[in-house]
Structure 1
Amino acid sequence: MLKRYKLMMKIIFLCSAIFFLSSKSFSNVLATTYEPAKPPKILSFTASSNKIKAGDSITLSWYVLNATKVEISGIDNLDYELSPISGGLKVTPSETTTYYLTASSEGGTVQASITVAVEKSSPDFFNIDYFYGSESEISLGETVTLYWKTTNAKSITIIGLEKINEELTSLPLSGELEVFPMETTDYILIAVGENYEIIYKIFTVTVAEEKKPAKINNFSTSASKINKGESVILLWDVSEAKSVTISGYPTDYLPLNGKLTVTPKKTTTYVLEAIGYDGVTVKKEVTVTVIESNVEDPLKLDYVVHDWGDEYIMDVDITNLSNDTVDYWSLLLKKSEFDISIIWGATLSENDEYYIISPLYYNDIIKPGVTVSFGFQAYDSPKKNFFYEFLLD
């Protein structure tokens, strides 16, 4: 019996010890794992301005600690959650407003406020608050959006709108409009007040011209072949160029179209260069052949013209300047420069490009220093510097 009693006491003691130790360990676990949430703290809640005029905007800014959610009262149609730490929000109060910032978490809720005073305009105050465009410089073909806002205006008009917008019978007192300027344009917004006073603002849109390449329409000469000592006329016509030059002519600038008399001493190639507004240089060249008389042409041609207006007679003398006898000669004239109807003292034949004038039996041989003659009648007016060439056997 005594043994059973001792055994029961041991069991009771062990159970008590186990319960005591288990309770103490659980308390320690609770003590080490549970920590209450910290309350949120609003470090700052400010406005970019505490006093504004009606229609102006301000930015609300905040900086918060230990918050899981931030809300600001007095703001409508906000479709996103505000940052619980820091942020900024642009608002346009229509009247004096007190904004309340509420920061909350499991640790509690705190609140801060700020008041923005809105100064409403006087009924007598009349103004164009702004008038500007999305761009002030564009390329041809691009569009611009005009923006404007007025205060206490009765009506507005914008001068300078294109035909596509001219059908607008009225414009809102504040608004926007897309325009299509085809050239540099001054848009003028005119506002009329309640007492019919008028104010205006101007916004200019500069339209850059298309950078077009230069084009050489013509570069030619009055004659492609001349005798030494004679002159020739260079003619040119250029468009869309910011500069024109001709090689061998001492100037850095020539007009877009013109003519120039030159007397080359030898066969010369003239090069016309035109620089376009796109910065690209285009070129064209012409060659004037100079015939050395003492080498190629022992014969000299002189002439006298009797001009009647729409017809003329040309008396021609041919002189042998060399020391040798010319046994036979013929003369080439360009058909593009002459329209011969009658000839005397010579015979006339032709091909596609030239008249061929040949001597008769009595003037086919020209001794040194001797002159022979012939003449012809032609239509239109004579050319001052015309092409000719002797063919000798």
Structure 2
Amino acid sequence: MKKLLTGLLSVCLAASLFFSMNITSWAAEGDEDTNTINPYERVEAEDANYFAYSYKANSADGSPCGAVISTIGYIVFQNVDFGEGTDTINVCAQAADLSPLWFMVDSLKDENTSEGKIEVTPSEGLEVYNVKLNTTITGVHTIYIGVPYLPNMGGMHYVNVDYWVAEKPPVPEPTPELTLEYDVYCWGSGYKVDFKVVNNSDEDVVGWALKIKKNGHSFDHSWCVNVKDDGDYFIVTPLDWNSVIPANGTVEFGILSSDNVGVASEYEFIDPVPVEDEKLGLDYSIQSWDDGYNVNFTLTNNSDTQLNGWTLKLNKSDINITSSWSVNVEETDDYYILTPAGWNTIVGPHDSTTFGIQGSGEIGTEIGYELEEMK
């Protein structure tokens, strides 16, 4: 007769009374059943691989309906695949009196090492109990469900276990592809907000748009973005040069307001609206040295109609102009305002004009700008 042995046991090898033999080694064969049990679906107690001081229970029609485990008894489930992990098991059980029920992983355990313990309360019907394990189980394991002998609970106990099922761990909310960070600087007559759009993905984000609720506030001035009024919201879209956010990179922009308080707390990223090529395009190249640089600009008219004037605003935070060619340069508090030199005011359809500036100090790889057609 074949019998499944589990747990920690003493093994004695004995020969027949009238025979002798030499044994050099021995090894146990694993159980032939290699099918795994899915613990995230209902596991019927009567389907256990092994019963010790326990037996399968039958319903009135003779069909199996769980297992009855007595004191010091247990049932065993082999090859249980906790591929998604768990730290909680729900068991449907019933007992005539207050009875302990333990869940043990890979071997029988004592009171201090058992992974999960509950007390099944007296009831006339089956009830579901939540067993919180003292560790998270992952991988393939053998599960023991047993009724221990506890001196303080005395006597014999019988627990009818109908089924058990493991809870899947909660799936963490995925990190949004784009998130927004901002700092608000307030003073008596207004405030400034510095925004940072963060690309949390491993791929470039091409095109983005942000919807910010007004909440009674106004945006008097902005940099590095376009801002459009849309009812109760401001729609913020990038300029040409910052419309692509590199993988795990950021794009920064800001706004000024004359309100006395402001917090841009209600916002959402929206799908950018595809648009045809902008009428005006701007490319630039930077040549830098230790304490200065040149920037050569090319302004392109992408349309089928003549351009009769243009204005280019450059952020002072990105550049420090000392001289220029083929443009006029004026200053405001935050911008350099570049306008045509006269001869390059008109730009024909699909034509371009070039100009440039020289600056002092250091320069980055990007220059914030706003380009407008003068009509």
Please indicate, yes or no, whether the TM-score normalized by the shorter chain is above 0.5.
no
Query: Which category describes the TM-score, using the shorter chain as reference length?
Result: 0.3 to 0.5
Determine which structure has greater relative contact order: mean sequence separation of CA pairs < 8 Å that are 6+ residues apart, divided by chain length.
Answer: 2
Name the one with the larger helix percent. Answer: 1
- TM-score, structure 1 as length reference: 0.31
TM-score (norm 2): 0.32
Q: Which has the larger radius of gyration?
A: 1
